[in-house]
Amino acid sequence: MSAGYFPKREKVGLEDLFKGLVTACHILHHHGILDAYGHISVRSPDNPATFWMPRNRAPALISSPDDLIEYNVEDASAVEKDAKPGYIERYIHSEIYKRFPAINSVVHSHCRDILPYCVSGVPLKSTIHMAGFLGNNVPVWDIAQHYPSGSKHDLLVRNTTLGASLSAAFKPTTSTGFIYSKVRSALPTQIAGTPPDPSRDPDYAVILMQGHGFTTAARSIEEAVYQAVYTKEAAQTQTKALAVRNAYYGQILEGKIDVEGGGKIKSAKAKTEGDLKYLSERELHDAWEANQSTLARPWELWCREVEVNPLYRNECPAGDD
C-alpha cells in the first residue's frame, strides 16, 4: 500500500493521512460510491482511540485539513469542543473501530448499484475474482430490529446502540468466520503495534443495510476504497448476469398434463436453467489473497484520475516521507 497511510508506524504522518483521506473522498465520488451523501473515515495513527472523518459536506467538495474532524472512538464525540458539524452516522465508524482494533478505515455508501441487494432478498455473491473479499455470503443488517425505545425510525445509525448492532453483524456470534478473517489473520501488523488476532477480526468485509446501503471495513484507506469500488463492480456484474440469464433461459414448467381438464398442467413446478456460476470458497480466498499485493496499482490510477479532474481540490500539504 502507498507510503504514509499504514505501512511501518514510524513513517505515518498526519499530513499524509489527511491528504489520503481527502483523495479517498474524491475517488469514491468519482467512481459513484458516494454522491452528496456517504463517508469514509480513518483511525488516527497517533492515537488508536480516535479517528478522522470529513465534516458534514459533500465528499467531492472536501479539500483541506479544515474539512476533517477528529472523533473519539468511545462515543463518536468530537475531540475539539468547537469542531464543525459532522455526519450523523459517524457512529457506524466509531463502533466498528471499537469492536475491531485492527480495522483502520471504514466506508459507508448508498451506491445505487448495490441498493437492489439491500431490498430484494437476492443475496449478493461474488461472480468475479476482483471481489473475493465478499466471501460466499454478504449479510443484510436490518435496523428495524434494533431501534432503541423512543428513537427515530429513519434508518440512520444515529447513536452508539445502533452502531454497535451494525458492527456486531461483521462478526456474529453464530458465525464460524471464513474468507475475510482468514486472509486478514495472515497480514502483518499495520498500526500502533496492534497484534494480529483472528478472534478479534471481522468475519465479513461488507455488510449490506436493509433499505439503506452498505458499509465496508478494512485495514487501510487504500483497502477500504478498493473494497467499496469492487463491491459495486460485483453488484453490477451480478445484476447484469441475472438479467441476461433470465432473458435467455426464463423458466420451464414441469408436470403432468390433465387431458380431461382441458390440457392443464397439474403438480407443476418451475425448473430454472442457466444458474449463475459463483466463485467457490477456495477461489474466493485465493483470489483475495492474490489481490492483496496489487492494491497500489488501482490506487495510483484512481489518485491520478481525481488529480486531473478540476472538480476535486486537495489542498492538504504533503508529508516528509
pLDDT mean over 106-113:
98
Q: What is the 3-state secondary structure (H, E, C) of the chain?
A: CCCCCCCCHHHCCHHHHHHHHHHHHHHHHHCCCCCCCCEEEEECCCCCCEEEEECCCCHHHCCCHHHEEEEECCCCCECCCCCCCCCCCHHHHHHHHHHCCCCCEEEEECCCCCCHHHHCCCCCCCCCHHHHHHCCCCCEECHHHCCCCCCCCCCCCCCHHHHHHHHHHCCCCCCCCCHHHHHHHCCCCCCCCCCCCHHHCCCCCEEEECCCEEEEEECCHHHHHHHHHHHHHHHHHHHHHHHHHHHHCCEEEEEEEECCCCCEEEEEEEEECCCCCCCCHHHHHHHHHHHHCCCHHHHHHHHHHHHCCCCCCCCCCCCCC
What's the pTM value of the predicted model, to 2 decimals? 0.86
Asked whether the predicted pLDDT for residue 262 surpasses 80, the reply is: no
- Residues comprising the chain, all counted: 321
Which domains are seen in the chain, by residue range?
A: 9-250+284-307 (3.40.225.10)
Radius of gyration of the CA atoms of the chain, in A = 22
Q: Residue 297's pLDDT is what?
A: 95
Least confident of 36-40, 170-174, 192-196: 192-196
- Other C-beta atoms lying within 10 Å of the C-beta of residue 145: 8
Q: Residue 274's pLDDT is what?
A: 56
Q: Residue 9's pLDDT is what?
A: 43
How does the average pLDDT of the chain come out, rounded? 87
- Other C-beta atoms lying within 10 Å of the C-beta of residue 208: 25
Beta bridge partners of 41: 106
CA nearest to 134, candidates 279, 297, 28, 298: 279
Q: Residue 173's pLDDT is what?
A: 80
pLDDT category, 30, cuts 50, 70, 90? very high
Q: Residue 194's pLDDT is what?
A: 53
pLDDT mean over 177-201:
56
Residue 102 burial (10 A CB sphere; 0-12, 13-18, 19+): buried
What percent of the chain lies above the pLDDT cut of 90? Answer: 72
Find all residues with CB under 8 Å of 162, minimum gap 6, and list them.
Answer: 91, 143, 146, 147, 148, 151
Q: Tens digit of pLDDT for each residue in 162-187?
A: 999 999 999 998 655 555 565 555 55
Contact 314, 22 (CB under 8 A): yes
Q: Residue 113's pLDDT is what?
A: 98
Asked whether the predicted pLDDT for residue 196 surpasses 50, the reply is: yes
Beta bridge partners of 270: 253
What percent of the chain lies above the pLDDT cut of 70? Answer: 80
Asked whether the predicted pLDDT for residue 128 surpasses 70, the reply is: yes
Compare 29 and 273 and report the one with higher pLDDT: 29
Compare 55 and 150 and report the one with higher pLDDT: 55
Q: Residue 97's pLDDT is what?
A: 98
Question: Which conformational region is residue 254 in: left (phi greater than 0), alpha (psi within -120 to 50 degrees), or beta?
Answer: beta
User: Which residues are catalytic, by number?
Assistant: 89
Q: Residue 269's pLDDT is what?
A: 63
Contact 98, 170 (CB under 8 A): no
pLDDT category, 259, cuts 50, 70, 90? low
Decide the pairing of beta strands 251-258 and 213-218. unpaired
pLDDT category, 46, cuts 50, 70, 90? confident
CA nearest to 142, candidates 193, 208, 237: 208
Angle between helices 221-248 and 14-30 (to 10 degrees): 20
pLDDT mean over 270-287:
82
Distance between CA atoms of residues 108 and 215, nearest Å:
4
